[in-house]
């Protein structure tokens, strides 16, 4: 836990990436909870840091494949609201891979003392898009490496 809380890039253990974040005013709305669209922005941060730790940062993708990740589709379930100053952990893991897409699951966990409560769950299909906006297949090396992360 200590390792997660003191890191701005998160921490990988048993194929799961853990990312710590506080909730700020910018994340919330007049219902005094985190606005539903803001979860997607926080999830991008967690995914990006997971992929960076695996070697796939923006610059690597751009330099090697002239490509970037884009969102094909997603679904979100909000079970427990998050509030100002809450401490959360975002768990990210790769669920499955096809030749042209990566399915990830991201869980938002509310930290309360030392317990963690599931607050919401995001399933997201990520694809690789070249600099003309055209969908490309996952490079073999990437496919192989990410395949190892599917439990």
Per CB under 8 A, 45 contacts a second copy: yes
Q: Rounded to an integer, what distance in angstroms lies between the CA atom of residue 23 and that of residue 29?
A: 12
Rg (CA), the chain: 16
The region of 63-71, 91-99, 105-113, 141-149 touching a second copy under the rule CB under 8 A is 63-71
Candidates 36, 137, 141, 147; binder of a second copy (CB under 8 A) is 36
Per CB under 8 A, 137 contacts a second copy: no
- What is residue 29's three-state secondary structure? coil
Q: Are 67 and 128 in contact (CB under 8 A)?
A: yes
- What is residue 149's three-state secondary structure? coil
Per CB under 8 A, 133 contacts a second copy: yes
Q: Give the residue numbers marked as catalytic.
A: 29
Binding site for a second copy (CB under 8 A): 5-8, 20-22, 24-26, 28-33, 35-38, 40-41, 44-45, 48-49, 57-59, 68, 70-78, 81, 83-85, 129, 133
């Amino acid at each position: 836990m200590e390792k997660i809380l003191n890191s701005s890039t998160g921490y990988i253990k048993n194929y799961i990436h853990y990312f710590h974040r506080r909730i700020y005013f910018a994340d919330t709305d007049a219902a005094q909870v985190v606005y539903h669209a803001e979860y997607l922005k926080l999830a991008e941060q967690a995914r990006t840091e997971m992929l960076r730790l695996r070697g796939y940062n923006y610059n690597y993708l751009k330099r090697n494949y002239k490509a970037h990740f884009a969102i094909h589709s997603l679904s979100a379930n909000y079970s427990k609201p998050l509030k100002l100053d809450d401490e959360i952990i975002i768990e990210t893991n790769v669920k499955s891979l096809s030749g042209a897409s990566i399915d990830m699951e991201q869980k938002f966990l509310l930290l309360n003392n030392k317990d963690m409560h599931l607050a919401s769950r995001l399933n997201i299909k990520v694809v690789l898009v070249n600099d003309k906006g055209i969908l490309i297949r996952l490079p073999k090396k990437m496919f192989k490496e990410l395949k190892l992360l599917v439990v």
